[in-house]
Amino acid sequence: MNAHVENTHFNLHGTSVIEQPADADTLKAALRTLGGGVSIITAGEGEARTGATVTSATALSVEPARMLVSLNRSSSTWPVVERYGHLGINIVGSTHEALANQFAGRGGLRGADRYRGAEWTTAVSGAPLLVDAVAAIDCVVEEAIERHSHVIVIGKVLAIRLGAGHSLLYQDGRYHALS
């Protein structure tokens, strides 16, 4: 019997389900199927700027206007968000794939060098915002909850810039642009 058949069970409705161990690799396989909207988190000023590409940015609530993002505590971005108490959440579109890779650290660029090749403005909070983002949300840190490898940052929204288009999606290890 192969592993696939061994793990097949029938639920109360008589539908077959495949159970896998609840380990990190299986969870990653499940999460690869989940399309995530791509945002670039920005923080800091001048040469102290840095940032990261994330799929974890979403709304906590719209009234009051609060965002949340899950950031790796060992990333270069979290200490800068913590120090400045602000973050820009830049929802990026189909023209920003290279920039998203840059902010994921893929070209080896770090800190302020990740801002190369795009136009930026400074938000009310002091966070940099991407001028041609699909939308850019300026936040100050309301609360940061450190758990396990990550920190859940709750951002109080100070200002919003609305651009055009739709966010890039990241699914199955690659970007997808919605037309």
Q: In this structure, is the dihedral angle defined by the CA atoms of residues 98, 48, 154 and 72, taken in order, positive or negative?
A: positive
Exactly one of 72, 85, 97, 141 binds ligand FMN (CB under 6 A); that residue is 72
Residue 158 engages ligand FMN in binding (rule: CB under 6 A):
no
Interface with ligand FMN includes 167 (CB under 6 A)?
no
Residue 6: half-sphere exposure toward Cβ, Cα within 13 Å: 5
Nearer to ligand FMN, 21 or 108 (CB): 108
d(CA 143, CA 85): 10
Residue 101 backbone dihedrals phi, psi, to 5 degrees:
-65, -40
90 binds ligand FMN (CB under 6 A): no
CB-based contacts of 105, cutoff 8 Å, min separation 6: 52, 114
Chain centre to alpha carbon of residue 38: 6
**CB-nearer residue toward ligand FMN: 77 or 125:** 77
* Binds ligand FMN by CB under 6 A, chosen from 37, 49, 68, 77: 77
105 binds ligand FMN (CB under 6 A): yes
Residues at the site binding ligand FMN, with contacts judged by CB under 6 A: 38, 52-56, 70-72, 75-77, 104-105, 170
